[in-house]
Amino acid sequence: MAHSKPKIPGTAQHFLECGFEDCERNCEFYCNSCHHQMCKPCRDQHLKIPENKNHEVVLYQKRRRQLPVKKCKIHPNKEVDIYCKDCNIPLCSKCSTMQEHQRHCFIDLESIYTEKFELCQKELSKIHNYFVPTSQDLQREVREDATEVKQIMDSIRTSMKAEAESLKNMVDTVLSENMEELNQIEKSLLEKLKSQEKTFDDYIAYLSDLVKEFQSYLSSNELTNFTTQLLDNLKIKSIPETTKPITPEFSSVGYNKNDVAKLLGKVIKSDRKAELRRVKSMEILPIATSMKSTSEQTKQDKQVKSDKKQTMSLSASVTKVREFNVPGVDDVYHVSLDQSDRLWISDNVGNLVQTDLQGNVIQKIKTSGGLGYHTVTQDRDLIFTDQDKKVINRITQDNKITEFIKTGDWEPRSIHSSHINGDLLVGMRTDEEGKVTRYNKTGKELQNIQRDSEGWELYSNPHYITENINGDICVSEYNKRAVAVVNKSGQHRFFYTGQESWFYPYGICTDVLGHILVCDSLSNSVHLLDQDGQFLSLLLTPQQGVGYPISVCVDDENNLYVGQYKTNTLTVYQYLQ
């Protein structure tokens, strides 16, 4: 059954073909004289023609831009192709003979156009690769600061309420103690007054009895009793002495608002001077297919690259350094670098092992499996996805496994820990669509990438993912049969769809020079691209003993590790010098 190739957006970048009729070889050269792109055989044939022997044929990347066709307004049958430096205007050749341009200096307009074209490309590159991403990073920082401010303010509010509640509780406690003491004093005074009241009850009763006795004397006829007994009882007891109660007093302190504020504390506005946000410096940005002189290119290389990078280049040939078997896996579907002498290696059925560079197994864990589903962070924690549970797990150095991120309805397929800033890049999908999500080190979602500027879906099944030295996100997209590349802001840059009719990309990685390396399981080869998606070569082919390459990675020493299907052998190559 015939298969149709997936539709790629109009902005997709395919490999360049030779411009000569019936030639389908890759374009390598460009003729600045007749503006033809050509392969090496066609270049040789082109220069053999006598009238072409003085044509300027250069590498395609160093080509001059073809001047747009524009007719002269004064001489409509002539094209504008020269530039008057004295008047700063473009002219046709016939204009240059006019009186007003006598003894003026003229230069090739195509050179001026190329220079301005390169300048525009350079400025566009700055905007896309520095100004927009940096501004978005600062905007994200502003948003994070706003969130932090809200959190800090909520924390202060909570502290103020807690302080007030504590003071209120202390006030209630002191009030309760004072009330209790007052109640005890009141009780004591009332008991004493009650005792005094009883004393007077007894004394009044005594007086009442005494009155009755005197009245009996007055009414008696017995003179003897009257005279003798009355003399005995004539003395009346004195009134009992009692004391008045002494009540307590309340001493009011008389707090005012400021006193309460001192007890509660107060909000103090900081007098620190606000710091300017740090804006990272702009590096010199490479421009795709730019034409520069050797001296200009050398100057730019010195500004962009470290000393180590400046001395490195592609080797004339690829050399096998060593190979070793990895016990515990059926084949090598993905490799993650742990440290200089450690690797994490997985197959397609969930076996994930850590080995040294001789293949000795250090530890092994069982996972739900996948393709490019694990990575190692800057802190050397292993991060791996669980597609079934739709979570991302973390294994720390003490071998503790924790559920790090939940991905909701999305199935996490591939993951990569950025060497630039530690962010996690995760390729995910549902039954209908795919996306790439960026998380920071703490698992906070920062960015979602799904479509290009024209609304085309970038991803369907992003099963391998990596990041280039310029921050580009490179995804091996199986269903679309392409490598999809966006910049760090999520803006689509290009698709690479291979060199044949069919292309089955698997493992993908980048190197210190910004090359993109991707496995093609159909042609049993590893493709080497430049940073802008331009095909450079088939780095590894069946002629070099490669059977079914399925995974690639480059270590800190620029060694290339290649894993294959249906074998647990990991092969190491050198391709840079």
Same domain for 353 and 259: no
Provide mean pLDDT across the span 372-401: 90
The pLDDT of residue 229 is: 62
> What does DSSP assign to residue 20?
S
The pLDDT value recorded for residue 224 is: 59
* Number of residues that make up the chain: 577
d(CA 247, CA 10): 99
Q: Of 3, 4, 7, 2, nearest to 480 (Cα)?
A: 7
State the DSSP code for 250. -
Q: Residue 27 falls within a domain, yes or no? A: no
Verify that 390 and 519 share a domain, yes or no: yes
* 43-57, 258-272, 501-515, 537-551: range with lowest mean pLDDT: 258-272
- What are the phi and psi torsion angles at 393 (to 5°)? -105, 155
Distance between CA atoms of residues 89 and 106, nearest Å: 10
Q: pLDDT tens digit string along 451-466? A: 988 888 999 999 999 9
How is 327-388 classified by DSSP, letter by letter? TT-SS--EEEEEETTEEEEE-TTSEEEEE-TT--EEEEEE----SS-EEE-TT--EEEEETT
The number of distinct structural domains making up the chain is: 2
Q: pLDDT-based confidence at 379, cuts 50/70/90?
A: confident
Whether 230 is in a domain gets the answer: no
Q: By C-alpha distance, which of 82, 76, 127 is closest to 107? A: 82
Whether 26 maps to a domain, the answer reads no
Does residue 519 form part of some domain?
Answer: yes
Residue 60 has what pLDDT? 79
- CA 464, CA 552: separation in Å to the nearest integer? 10
β-pair type (549-554, 535-540)? unpaired
518 band by pLDDT with thresholds 50, 70 and 90: very high
User: Residue 300: its pLDDT value, please?
Assistant: 45
Whether residue 344 is found in the same domain as residue 484: yes
Give yes or no for residue 476 having a pLDDT over 50: yes
Residue with tokens 């293949």: 359
Q: Do 571 and 518 lie in a common domain?
A: yes
Q: Is residue 555 in a domain?
A: yes
Residues 6 or more apart whose CB falls under 8 angstroms from that of 521 comprise 504, 505, 506, 548, 549, 550, 565
Confidence check: pLDDT of 301 > 60: no
Q: Is the pLDDT of residue 102 over 80?
A: yes
- pLDDT for position 262: 77
Output 15 or 103, whichever has higher pLDDT.
Answer: 103
- Asked whether residue 569 carries a pLDDT value surpassing 50, the answer given is yes
* CB neighbourhood size of 45 (10 A): 14
How sure is the predictor about 507, in pLDDT bands with cuts at 50, 70 and 90?
Answer: very high
481: alpha, beta or left? (left if phi > 0; alpha if psi -120 to 50): left
Specify if 183 maps to a domain. yes
In this structure, which amino acid lies at residue 379? D
Q: Give the span between the Cα atoms of 210 and 366, in whole angstroms.
A: 112
The more confidently predicted of residues 90 and 25 is: 90
Torsion sign across C-alpha atoms 76, 82, 84, 88? positive
Where does the pLDDT of residue 311 fall: very low under 50, low under 70, confident under 90, or very high at 90 and above? low
Residues 313 and 260 grouped into a single domain? no
- What backbone torsions phi and psi does residue 46 show, to the nearest 5 degrees? -65, -45
Residue 50 covered by a domain: no
Residue 333 shares a structural domain with residue 259: no
Range of the domain at 193: 118-208+251-264
Show Cβ contacts of residue 375 under 8 Å, excluding neighbours closer than 6 positions.
Answer: 336, 382, 383, 384, 415, 416, 417, 424
Q: Do strands 569-576 and 314-325 pair parallel, antiparallel, or not at all (unpaired)?
A: antiparallel
Rounded to whole angstroms, the Cα distance separating 423 from 57 reads: 44
Whose structure tokens read 């007719």?
71
Domain match, 255 and 338 both: no
| Residue found under tokens 């009442």 | 208
User: Looking at residues 551-565, what average pLDDT do you find?
Assistant: 93
Tell whether 311 and 179 lie within a shared domain. no
Tell me, yes or no, whether 197 and 312 share the same domain.
Answer: no
Same-domain status, 258 and 371: no
Tell me: do 433 and 508 sit in the same domain.
Answer: yes
Question: Cα(435)–Cα(297) distance, rounded to whole angstroms?
Answer: 37
Between 265 and 2, residue with greater pLDDT: 265
More confident residue, 487 or 283: 487
Give the residue carrying structure tokens 């509010």.
157
Mean pLDDT of the chain: 84
In a domain, 63, yes or no: no
Contact 376, 361 (CB under 8 A): no
User: Does one domain contain both 257 and 394?
Assistant: no
CATH code assigned at 530: 2.120.10.30
User: What mean pLDDT is predicted for residues 410-438?
Assistant: 94
